[in-house]
Chain A
Amino acid sequence: MTGLQPLVSVVDDDESVRESLPVFLAVCGFPVEAFASAEEFLASADLDRTRCLIVDIAMPGMTGPELGQELRRLRREIPIVYVTALRDESVRPRMLAHGAVDCLFKPFSETALLDAVATALRGR
C-alpha cells in the first residue's frame, strides 16, 4: 500500500455535500474522491489508498455505520469521520465508542472538519 498517495474519501448520498466537501478539502490540499453510496465506495479501486473516510450516517442502502462494520470485517483499518444532518446527541458517543475518529453534525464548522481529517491522517 505504500507508494500510493493517501486519499480522503467522501461517501454521502446528499449532492450538496458530495459537491462542496471534496472541493473544500481539495482547496485545503487533500487529494479527495467522492462517492454517492457505501456500495460504490467498496467497489472502487480507491478503497486501498483511502487514509480517511468521511461518511454520512443515514444513507439509503448500506448506512455509514454498516460501512464501518464491513470495513472492520475486511480488516481495512481506515479512520472514519461520520457526518449527519440528524442532530441526535446520543449518536456521537456511540460512534466514538465504535472507534470513529469523530462524529460531526451538519452544518459543521470547517475547523472541526479539518481537525477531524488531520487526526485521521495522523493515524490517531
Chain B
Amino acid sequence: MESQQSGSAIGAPRGRGYRYNAIVEERRWAETLLAGERRLLEMIASGRSLPDVLDALCSFVEQAAPECNCGVYLIDWSGPCFRVGAAPSLPASYTEPVDGLPVRRDVAPCGVAASLKVQVIIEDIESDTRWSVYREHVLAHGLRAVCSTPVCSHDGRVLGTFCVYQRQPGKPSSRQHELIAQVTHIASIAIERAQEEAALIRSQALLAEGQRLSRTGTFWWRVATDEFEWSDECYRILAVDHSAPLTFALIDARVHPDDVNNVKARLAQARHDANDFEFECRLLLPDHAITFLRVVARARRDRGVLTEYIGAIQDVTERRVSEAALGKLRSELARVSRVTTLGALTASIAHEVNQPLAGIMTNAGTCLRMLDANPPDIAGARETARRTIRDGTRAADVIARLRALFTRHAPATETVDLNAATREVIALSRSEQQRAGVILRAELGDGLPAVTGDRVQLQQVIMNLLVNASESMSSVADRPRELVITTERDEGDHVRLTVKDRGTGFDAQATDSLFDAFYTTKTGGMGIGLSVSRSIIESHHGRIWAAPNDGPGATFAFSIPSVAATAADVV
C-alpha cells in the first residue's frame, strides 16, 4: 500500500496550486480507499481468520488516518458483553478491561452505540461526565476523543462496534467519516461471514455426530456419470479408507458374495426405472464381520429425466441380530406349540379310539371262549358279536367326528378384488421377502374383473405361493432372487394369478404329486400348504397348477372364475 499523508492534508491551503494539489490529493485518497477495500475483501474471500481481517482493517484505517487509534468490539449476545475483535495499536492495559464489558448504555459510549444503533461521538472525554469509570480509563491511555459506530448485519442485527479514538479533542473529519462508513461495512461482511462459517461448521459437526450415532451415512449418486459423494459415516460403515474414492467396484467388494447379484440387480433396476428404491443387503467386511445394511434412496429428476439419487445407508446389524434371535425364539415356540397341540390331539384321538377297541378285543375273546365251550354258547357268542359290531361303529363314529372337526366350512362368498387382495398379501410379506433378499415384482393387470369367493382363503393361497417361491430361492446365490407375481384375465371369464420364481424348481415328474398332502421337497415342511391351496381353489371352482420354468425356477398359477362367469353359471 502506498504511504499516505492524507491526514495532514486536512486543512485549507488556498490558491490555484492548492486546487491542483487538492484534485491529486482527492484522487490519491480515493485510490487509497479502493486499494484498502480490495485488500480486505480479498482477505475475507480467501478465508483468512476474523481476527486477521479485523486487525488489517484497523491498521488500514490507522495508516489512512495516522492521528487515530482503532478498535473493533464484537458483541457476545449471551452476556451480552463486548469482546475485543481487534485493536492492534492499543496496549493490552487498555483492551483487557474492555473485554467482557457489559453492553449497557451507562457503561461506555460503545454501549450506547450498540444498544441504540446510533453513532456516538464524544469530542472531549474530559468534559463528559456520563461514564466516570470509562472516562478515567480512556484518559489514562492518552485518548481524548471517541467515535463509536455500530456494525450491523445485512438484516439489521448489531454485530459489534467500530471505535475510533483521537489523542486530541475534536470531531472526526469528513474523510474520517467516509473511512469509518467504509470499514464498518467491510467489518460487518467479515463478521457475518465468520458467524455463518462457524454455524456451518457447527451444523456439519452435528450432522456428522448424528450420522455416527444413528450409524447412517448419506450419499449422492449422479447416475449418468456414476459419480459419488459419500459422507464420512459411509466410509466407516463400508470399512473403506477415506483416501480411496468410492466406486461400484469397491462396493461390490464389500457386499456379501451371496447378496452381490441382488444388489447389482437392484441398482440396475434403479438406473432403469428411475424410481425411489430401498433394499437391505449384507456386507462382508475385511475383518470377516457380517453386517446388515439398509439402503434408501430418492430419485431426483430434471424435466422428468433421472439425474441423481440422494440416499442414506444405515447399519442395521444390531436390529437384525436381535430380530433374528427373536424370530428363532418365535419359530421355536411355534414348533413347540405345534408339537404340543399335535401331541394333545393325538392323545385325545387315541383315547377316543382305544375305548371301543378295548371293547372289541375283549368281546372277541369272549366270543371265542363261548364258541369253544362245551356245549358252545351260540346265543351268547351272537350277542357278544353284536356288541363287537356296535363298538366298531363307535370307533368309526369317533373318526367321522374328527373329520367333521377338521373339514373346512363352505367358503364365504363375497366379491373379491384379486389385485387388492394380492397387494395386501405383498404388503404383509414384504419385510420377510426383503429379509430373504428377494426382489418382488408385481405386475397386476389393469381392469381385472372381480371374483366371487372367500377373500381370506384366497389370500392364504397367494401367501402360500409367495412363501414357497421365496423359500425355493433361499439357497440361490448365483443369480438374483427374483419373484414375479402377475394377475391377468384368463379365457372363459376367468382371472389368473401367476407366481414365477427363479429358485431351485422341481422335477417335471413330480408335477402330479406336488399338490398331494404330505408331499414336500423342504426339510422342515409338512407338505400340506399346496394341498390346502388346491382344496381352496377347487372350492372356488378354479384350477391350480405348476410348471418348471424354461430357465431356473418354477411357475405356480391358479385360475378362478370372475363374477361374470359365476353369474352365468347360476343362470
Contact = CB atoms under 8 A, between A and B. Distances in A.
Contacts of B354: 85-87, 105-107
B369 A106 contact: no
Contacts of A19: 359, 387
B363 interface: yes
B369 A27 contact: yes
Nearest to B377: A27
B370 interface: yes
Nearest to A15: B359
B373 to A, nearest CB: 8
B351 interface: yes
A16 B354 CA distance: 11
A106 B357 contact: yes
B359 A20 contact: yes
Given A27-B370, A85-B351, A86-B351, A20 B387 contact: yes
Nearest to B358: A106
B355 A85 contact: yes
A16 B358 contact: yes
A109 B351 CA distance: 17
Contacts of B187: none
Interface in A33-82: none
Nearest to A83: B358
A16 B391 contact: yes
A106 to B, nearest CB: 4
Interface in B56-102: none
Interface residues of A, number: 22
Nearest to B391: A16
A115 interface: no
Nearest to A109: B361
Contacts of A24: 362-363, 365-366, 369
Contacts of A110: 361-362, 365
Nearest to A21: B362
A17 B390 CA distance: 12
Contacts of B394: 16
A106 B350 CA distance: 10
A87 B360 CA distance: 18
Interface residues of B, number: 26
B564 interface: no
A23 interface: yes
A20 B391 contact: yes
A17 B347 contact: no
Contacts of B358: 14, 16-17, 20, 83, 85, 106-108
Given A23-B366, A27-B370, A85 B361 contact: no
Nearest to A105: B354
A23 B354 CA distance: 19
A1 interface: no
In terms of DSSP, what is the predominant structure of the interface of chain B? Answer: helix
B351 to A, nearest CB: 5
Contacts of B359: 14, 16-17, 19-20
A104 B370 CA distance: 24
Given A86-B351, A87-B350, A20 B366 contact: yes
A4 interface: no
Interface string A5-16: 000000000101
Interface string B338-363: 00000000010011101111111111
Interface in B355-391: 355-363, 365-366, 369-370, 373, 377, 380, 384, 387, 390-391
A98 to B, nearest CB: 22
B363 A106 contact: no
A97 interface: no
A20 B360 CA distance: 8
Interface string A94-124: 0000000000011111100100000000000
Contacts of A87: 347, 350, 354
Nearest to A26: B366
Q: Which of A24, A86, A105, A109 is packed against the most chain B CB atoms within 10 Å?
A: A24
B439 to A, nearest CB: 51
B362 A17 contact: yes
B347 A86 contact: yes
Nearest to B365: A110
Nearest to B347: A86
Interface of B: 347, 350-352, 354-363, 365-366, 369-370, 373, 377, 380, 384, 387, 390-391, 394
Interface of A: 14, 16-17, 19-21, 23-24, 27-28, 83, 85-88, 105-110, 113
26 contacts: A14-B355, A14-B359, A16-B356, A16-B359, A16-B387, A16-B391, A17-B355, A17-B362, A20-B358, A20-B359, A20-B363, A20-B384, A20-B391, A24-B363, A27-B373, A28-B369, A85-B350, A85-B355, A86-B354, A88-B347, A107-B354, A107-B357, A107-B360, A107-B361, A108-B358, A110-B362
Given A14-B358, A105-B354, 16 more contacts: A14-B355, A16-B387, A16-B391, A16-B394, A19-B359, A23-B366, A23-B380, A24-B362, A24-B369, A27-B366, A27-B373, A85-B351, A85-B358, A106-B358, A109-B361, A110-B362
Among all A-B residue pairs, the 8 with the closest Cβ atoms: A16-B359, A106-B358, A85-B354, A20-B362, A107-B358, A110-B365, A107-B357, A24-B366
